[in-house]
Structures are given as C-alpha cells and as structure tokens.
C-alpha cells in the first residue's frame, strides 16, 4: 500500500496552462548582443535523476484579510447577514435612516435580521464596475421594499413570510455608488442581502479565477492556516444565504466586550478581517479548483475541531451518495464524490498561537486519532501532519506517527531585510530551507520506519512586510531550484498566498487584485514559468562561471523522452551574462526571462512592473541583471 501511495503522489491532474503572464513570443533580431560575461553550460550526463513532483508548483489560500473576500469572492456588500445591528457605530458597515434595529428570526444561520419600520432603510457605499449586477435579498412582512443602486430604483411588494427576491441592475459608469434598501408600509425583516457581478462563477470573480488559471498552480491548500483551527466546515455548506456569519476565531476571539470589538474593528483591514460570512465554503473551493484545473488540498481542524468532524468532512467530499454526508453533498448539488486525495491534518499545532495547541506528547495521540478516523472513511487519501523540524516537534511526529503520515508539513516565512544584497536575500530563504532538508534527512535515518515520509512546504514566502518584489522572485526561484534538487524528499510546496488585494501593502502574493482586475507579481511570473517550462526529472548540469561574484543559482530538469532539458538560472547580480551550450548540437529552443526593478512589486493592475518575455531560438541567451531565466534546450 505504501509503495502504491508514494507512486500515486506524482499523479497530479494535468493542468492546462494558459501562459498569460508572459509577453508574446519573440524572434530576436540578428545583431551582436552586449554582455559583461560569457558562460557555458555543460550537461555531463543525460541520465534522468529523481522524478520532480508537479505538486511543488502549488499555492495556498487562507481566510485572512484581503485574500478571499473582495479578491476571489465576488460579493460586493459587507455584513450582508447582519452579524452586528445595522448602523452599530464602529462595527456595522451599514448606514441607517429611520427606525432600524436588529431582530431575531432571520433566515440565515446567524438568526439575526434587520427590522425596518415605515420609511426606514439601510445603505452602503460600494465600488462598482460598469456592467450587469445580480442581486437578491430575503424579506418578510408588509408593504414594499425599494432597492436603489446609483440612480436606478426597483420596488418589490412584500408577500408575507420570509422569501427570496431577486433583481438585476445595469451600471453605466464604474466607481463608488450608494446601494440602499428602503421600506414603506408595515413592519418588515430583511436578511441575507447580496449583490454580485452577473458574470460570477459560483459566487467567485471570473477575472481572478482566470488569472489563477493562468498562474498554473498545480495544487491549492485551503482554508488555512491559523483560520482552520477555529473553523467548522459544516457552517460553510448548503445554501449560502442560509449559512451563519461567525467570528474569525483565529484573530477575533469573543471577549464579550462590544467596546473591545470596536477597537479591534478600527484596526482591522476590512470587515472580513474579523467576521467570516461562510460564503466561500467547501463546495465553492472545489468549484474553484475545477475551474482553474488544480488539485484540492483540504485542511482539517485539529485545534477546536473533533475527530468526528474531520471524518465527516472526508465522507462529505469522498463518500458515495448513499453515505450520510455523501448524501448531504448530493442534496447540495454534487452527486459524484470529489475524490480529494490530499489532506492536511491540522495547522502549526506546535505553536502556542494556535487554537487548541498542546505539547507534542499529547498532540501525537490527537494526530493519530484524526488520521485513523479519516482513513477509516477513505483509505486512499494522503495525509500531511504538522511539522517543525527546527525543534523537537517533528522528531516526536516521526517517532510516534509514522504509520499515520505520508507527508510532514513545514512552514517558512523568510526574513525580508531591504538592507541585504540580492544574493543575501536569496540565501535568507534557501539557507533556511536547506537546513530543514538536512534535518529531515537526519530524522529519516533516525526513524527508518518513517523513511516514506516526505516534506510538504505547504506555506512559504518572504516575511509579511511588503508586496512581493523582483528581489523576492529571485529568492522564490532559488527555493524552487532547491526543491527540484531534493526531489527525493520534497513532495509538495504551496506559495503563500496565491492572491491578495492590491491595497494590502504588507502581503506577499503571486497575484494582486482590485476592483479593476488582476495583475501578476514577479513571484507569480516565476511560479507560472516554472510550472509551465520545467521538465519531469532532475538532471545534473554545470555552468562554467569565470566570475563567482555573480552568485548564479541554477537547476536543470529533463523530459521523460530525454530530448528536452530545461535549465532555470537565477542572476542576482548587476551583470548581463551570455549563456551558450558547450555542446553546439544542443540548441536553445526557448528563452524565458523574468526581469524588472528589484524593489518593485507591481505597477497598475494589468501592467506588471516586472516583465516576462519569451524568445524563440536565440543563438545566445542573455541573462539580464536581477532576473530569472528558463532555457528550454533541444538535445541534438
């Protein structure tokens, strides 16, 4: 069984890449290139080495400010299920006029609604794009409700008990507009209001999904992250309008003090920093993975969650339609099992910041109980356990959980020091990864029964202090080179995070989004290029460097048929380097270059500060300063 499972680990679904981040392919003009140094590439042995897992080109998503809501999720209204009383100062995003109050008896799982008297209403200021919008609300009572968006009004006669009403609206000019709901007549209750672009896909922004599809990430870890240790997946299934809003327990535990809530909200990035509407849940995440062509990697809650909840989630996703939770999935519109293969058992449970943290001696028992319950539902799933091999935690996991582990998770957010040189910046991440890889090999020697356990670097990036820059792209490319070099023990990697709001100046991301669209960061261009162009097997290669101060970092891969070699080169220096093949029978078919201002992340949405260009059949590949190159070589 172990052998079969390890082999299957490489069998990730084929991803149809759309290489949208790079410029149109170019045929270079015939002219004498200018460069500072000239290096040659030697391929001494074309024998393939270890198989490179396609899952190292993965991404991570978490319900954290600016990652899900407003970027992937298309909903335009905040607090649409009225977690706080409408108009509650410092907490509610709604402005009220007339007599408005919170009332019990709402239709959502939060069981709260807005009570509107005659002539009363609520409104929000919302950034809208030009085009068609789809809206809806639940209402019960007497009289009429008027919905006004910009200068357009629609009036709905109310028909007694709670029911859902729908509408459409055309926005002639994008920008900030007022969205209001005004009641006339007897008393009424309003709940679960919604407004989305009409081209949304299962509630998600198509422009963001299209950018994620172009990014080419092979596997997505979700829903966290620290978030998962306070998350109940059962809150996020079924009719989205009827799901409850909850506090985001990872960052907004209930103090019971409304003034404390106000203080925290004033410091928050957005309303959804603190309140989780449960609009994007399990089925939506899996619809996202289907749209972009990526494997889902589902995390379960081992912090505040129960063994039973984890097993129920496996059954919901993978059970047949006759099982208890499989039948619930079928009722929710998905008769066939999702057949998720990769499961993350908990998140960073070694840390005292994590909900439900315990010492390793107790946690190994918890991990094994979760693993046994989940495998009892589906024995073919792969399980990742929480690791931290800079401490004794991973030692305890491998000593006590080897039979309940396929992978062990490692998280790394490298120091981001703007005073460091480009090459030192690269080493700040690769040096840390290298230490963890060496520690893991020592643990495998110490515990032979765990020899099958490989590493999943299922959260990694440079530290949270700035948007992802070209300097970061150099380091991430060097990290990917290291993952490829250690393909025998690295099974997965998930860059953190796949997408963030462009207004988050402290968040590293592959993609940035705002109301105008999405843009690739330099790191996103690197991740896209590696997933698109690197080959299946590790290959030994040497670059003859006459000046070691350039500090090139490189790695080669070879195709299954042995006819194509892809060589990734990271140049942190200020020099332009000409690269030629030592054997002239081997020709460069394609040269992919990612370069730009090292200090910049992105420019305007849709106009990347770092650029990606693709050249066909250059005689000489010019490795630009502060750049990442991938050379696709045809073996002659």
First to last CA, the chain: 41
Position 159 scores a pLDDT of 86
Query: Do the bridges between strand 490-496 and strand 454-462 make them parallel or antiparallel, or are there none, so unpaired?
Result: parallel
Nearest of 422, 464, 435, 466 to residue 598 by alpha carbon: 422
Compute the distance between CA of residue 201 and CA of residue 198 in angstroms, rounded to an integer: 9
Residue ranges in the chain whose pLDDT is less than 50: 1-19, 30, 603-608
Tell me if 242 sits within 8 A of 81, measured CB to CB. no
The dihedral over CA atoms of 599, 604, 609, 615, expressed in degrees to the nearest 10, equals 170
Tell me if 249 sits within 8 A of 230, measured CB to CB. yes
Position 626 scores a pLDDT of 93
Position 156 scores a pLDDT of 97
Tell me if 412 sits within 8 A of 347, measured CB to CB. no
Query: Which DSSP category does 242 fall into?
Result: G
Tell me if 265 sits within 8 A of 89, measured CB to CB. no
Tell me if 525 sits within 8 A of 612, measured CB to CB. yes
Position 601 scores a pLDDT of 59
Compute the distance between CA of residue 619 and CA of residue 636 in angstroms, rounded to an integer: 15
Q: Is 107 helix (H, G, I), strand (E, B) or coil?
A: coil
Nearest of 79, 68, 19 to residue 507 by alpha carbon: 68
Tell me if 306 sits within 8 A of 236, measured CB to CB. no
Place of tokens 């590696």: 530
175-184, strands of its sheet edge to edge: 95-97, 121-128, 175-184, 144-149, 152-157
- pLDDT tens digits, one per residue of 80-108: 999 999 999 999 999 999 999 999 888 88
Q: Is 151 helix (H, G, I), strand (E, B) or coil?
A: coil
CA distances from 293 to 14, 113, 209, 219, 224 (A): 8, 38, 10, 9, 20
Compute the distance between CA of residue 522 and CA of residue 511 in angstroms, rounded to an integer: 9
Position 7 scores a pLDDT of 34
| Residue ranges in 216-270 assigned as alpha helix (H) | 258-267
Place of tokens 């600016």: 66
- Residue 363 CB neighbour total at 10 angstroms: 23
Beta strand segments in 175-304, E: 175-184, 188-197, 219-222, 246-247, 275-276, 295-300
Compute the distance between CA of residue 299 and CA of residue 229 in angstroms, rounded to an integer: 9
């Amino acid at each position: 069984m172990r052998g079969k499972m390890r082999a299957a680990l490489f069998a990730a679904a084929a991803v149809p890449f759309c290489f949208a981040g790079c410029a149109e392919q170019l045929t270079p003009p015939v002219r004498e290139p200018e460069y500072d140094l000239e290096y040659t590439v030697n391929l001494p042995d074309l024998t393939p080495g270890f198989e490179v897992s396609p899952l190292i080109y993965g991404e991570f998503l978490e319900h954290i400010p600016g990652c899900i809501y407003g970027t992937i999720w298309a909903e335009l209204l905040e607090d649409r299920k009225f977690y706080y009383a409408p108009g509650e100062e410092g907490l509610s995003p709604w402005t009220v006029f007339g007599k408005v109050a919170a009332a019990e008896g709402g239709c959502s799982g939060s069981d709260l609604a807005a009570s509107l008297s005659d002539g009363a209403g609520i409104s929000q200021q919302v950034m809208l794009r030009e085009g068609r919008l789809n809206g809806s609300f639940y209402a019960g009572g007497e009289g009429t409700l008027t919905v006004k968006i910009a200068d357009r009004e629609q009036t709905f006669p109310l028909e007694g008990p709670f029911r859902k009403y729908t509408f459409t609206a055309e926005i002639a000019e994008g920008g900030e507009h007022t969205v209001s709901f005004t009641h006339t007549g007897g008393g009424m209750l309003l709940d679960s209001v919604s407004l989305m672009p009409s081209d949304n896909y299962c509630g998600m922004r198509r422009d963001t999904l299209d950018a994620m599809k172009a990014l080419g990430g092979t596997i997505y870890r979700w829903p966290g992250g620290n978030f998962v240790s306070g998350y109940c997946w059962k809150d996020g299934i079924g009719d989205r309008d009827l799901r409850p809003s909850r506090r985001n327990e990872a960052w907004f535990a209930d103090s019971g003090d409304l003034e404390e809530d106000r203080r925290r909200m004033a410091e928050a990035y957005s309303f959804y920093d603190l309140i989780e509407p449960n609009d994007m849940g399990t089925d939506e995440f899996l619809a996202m993975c289907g749209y972009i062509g990526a494997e889902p990697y589902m995390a379960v809650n081992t912090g505040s969650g129960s063994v039973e909840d984890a097993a129920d989630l496996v059954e919901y996703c993978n059970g047949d339609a006759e099982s208890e939770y499989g039948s619930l999935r079928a009722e929710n519109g998905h008769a066939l099992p999702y057949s998720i293969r990769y499961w993350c058992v908990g998140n960073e449970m070694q840390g005292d910041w994590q909900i439900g943290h315990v010492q390793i001696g107790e946690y190994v028992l918890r991990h094994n109980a979760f693993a046994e319950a989940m495998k009892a539902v589906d024995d073919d799933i792969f399980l990742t356990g929480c690791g931290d091999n800079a401490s004794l935690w991973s030692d305890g996991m491998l000593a006590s959980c080897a039979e309940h582990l396929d992978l062990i998770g490692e998280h790394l957010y490298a120091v981001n020091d703007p005073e460091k040189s480009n090459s030192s910046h690269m080493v700040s991440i690769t040096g840390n990864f290298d230490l963890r890889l060496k520690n893991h090999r020592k643990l495998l020697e110490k515990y032979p029964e765990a020899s099958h356990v490989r590493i999943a670097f299922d959260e990694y990036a440079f530290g949270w202090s700035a948007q992802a820059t070209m300097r970061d792209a150099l380091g991430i490319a060097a990290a990917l080179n290291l993952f490829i070099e250690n393909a025998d023990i690295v099974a997965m990697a998930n860059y953190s995070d796949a997408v963030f709001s462009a207004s988050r100046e402290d968040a590293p991301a592959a993609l940035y989004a705002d109301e105008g669209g999405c843009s690739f960061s330099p790191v996103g261009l690197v991740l896209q290029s590696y997933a698109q162009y690197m080959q299946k097997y590790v290959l030994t290669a040497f670059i003859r460097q006459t000046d070691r101060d350039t500090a090139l970092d490189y790695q080669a891969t070879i195709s299954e048929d042995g006819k194509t070699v892809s060589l990734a080169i990271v140049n942190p220096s200020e020099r332009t380097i000409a690269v030629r093949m030592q054997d002239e029978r081997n020709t460069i078919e394609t040269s992919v270059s990612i370069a730009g201002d090292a200090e910049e992340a992105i420019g305007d949405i849709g106009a990347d500060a770092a650029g990606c260009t693709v050249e066909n059949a250059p005689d000489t590949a010019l490795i630009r300063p502060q750049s990442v190159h991938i050379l696709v070589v045809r073996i002659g």
